[in-house]
Amino acid sequence: PLNDVLYSVDDAVATIVINRPEAMNALTVRAKTALLEALTSAQAPSVRAVLLTGSGRAFCAGQDLAEHAANLEAGRGLDGTVRTHYNPIVRTIIEMDKPVVAAVNGVAAGAGASLAFACDLRIASEKARFATAFSGIALAPDSGASWTLQRLVGTARATELLLLNEPFGAKRALELGIVSRVVPADELDTAARALAVRLAQGPTSAYAATKRALRFAATSSPAEALELEADLQDACAKTADHLNATRAFLAKERPVFEGH
Ligand code: T3D
């Protein structure tokens, strides 16, 4: 199909569906280009949350190994695809100034697992499976897995998962803290959408600041983190959402967030 990635916006939620079900949503150059385009569209201020999922039985099986093998056989190697495609995709997710939710509907392997790890929240179907996969084909982690997975589960577990490449299911992912919720397969769409809509109705600027503070604190000194927190809080305190929510609190009303 021409539509390797589907994009739609509803209730300020951009839904991005990787749509190569016949290949477990494995990523070709064309699919990666479409995915980056969709993520770039989701940067529009009218979008206040992003939902990423896969069509059919997989979330995403990572790099399309048929395309990859053809490149290797032709002596083209990776052809710069990590820098050209995966890195911008993952940076766009991580740096998105609104929450990104992964609805992990099936297997997430290699760069497909990395995509899920890069999102802010992961909700999984009971049918979800994860496989780091990289070492299985003698590759090192890419698409941010060395950074994201380590932050999700700690260095010891990330090392184990990346070296041993033992696939694990939704239950183990929940135990490890990789996913925050597991639901029956037929409830995933509804539950993930409800979560994304809830986030889209939240204080978008404060969410963006929260993501930025967390990213920065991961590699900064406490003093630097405190400085950035102070700057971000000054900015948040100037938003209409903050004033209105503070007033709503005192009036014992439910706040309505406009996102700024
Ligand atoms: O090139 C670069 O830029 C380097 C970047 C690399 C980033 C990476 O992502 S490296 C890691 C690549 N991914 C993998 O190594 C995962 C390979 N797939 C698997 O290990 C397994 O297929 C799964 C664990 C994902 C699922 O297992 P299972 O038993 O549920 O399904 P299956 O029977 O293995 O696969 C079903 C079909 O999907 C099958 O095709 P067929 O036989 O029905 O025609 C299989 O070949 C295809 N498929 C699965 N993964 C890929 C794929 N086709 C192309 N690329 C794939 N990654």
Q: pLDDT tens-digit profile of 40-77?
A: 999 999 999 999 999 999 999 999 999 999 999 999 88
Does ipTM exceed 0.90?
yes
* Residue nearest ligand 1's atom 21 by CA: 61
- Both 237 and 109 in one domain: the answer is no
User: What's the domain range around 193?
Assistant: 5-200
24 in contact with ligand 1, CB cutoff 6 A: yes
As a whole number, mean pLDDT of residues 3-27 equals 98
Over the stretch 76-95, which tens digit does the pLDDT of each residue have? Answer: 888 788 999 999 999 999 99
89 in contact with ligand 1, CB cutoff 6 A: no
* Residue nearest ligand 1's atom 11 by CA: 110
Give, for ligand 1, the residue of 65, 127, 146 to mutate: max count of ligand atoms closer than 8 Å to Cβ. 65
Over the stretch 159-198, which tens digit does the pLDDT of each residue have? Answer: 999 999 999 999 999 999 999 999 999 999 999 999 999 9
- Both 120 and 156 in one domain: the answer is yes
Over the stretch 109-137, which tens digit does the pLDDT of each residue have? Answer: 999 999 999 999 999 999 999 999 999 99
- Both 128 and 213 in one domain: the answer is no
| Residue 256 placed within a domain | no
Distance CA 118, CA 126 (A): 20
pLDDT confidence bin for 9, thresholds 50/70/90? very high
- Both 114 and 239 in one domain: the answer is no
As a whole number, mean pLDDT of residues 146-155 equals 98
Q: What is the CATH number of the domain that holds 31?
A: 3.90.226.10
Over the stretch 222-237, which tens digit does the pLDDT of each residue have? Answer: 999 999 999 999 999 9
- Both 23 and 35 in one domain: the answer is yes
CA 130 to centroid of ligand 1, rounded, Å:
12
pTM of the complete model beyond 0.90:
yes
| Residue 64 placed within a domain | yes
Report the candidate in 49, 44, 61 with the shortest Cα–Cα distance to residue 13.
49
132 in contact with ligand 1, CB cutoff 6 A: no
pLDDT at 2: 67
User: Does residue 90 contact residue 141 with C-beta atoms inside 8 Å?
Assistant: no
**What is the signed CA dihedral for 137, 140, 145, 146, rounded to 10 degrees?**
150
Structural domain count, the chain? 2
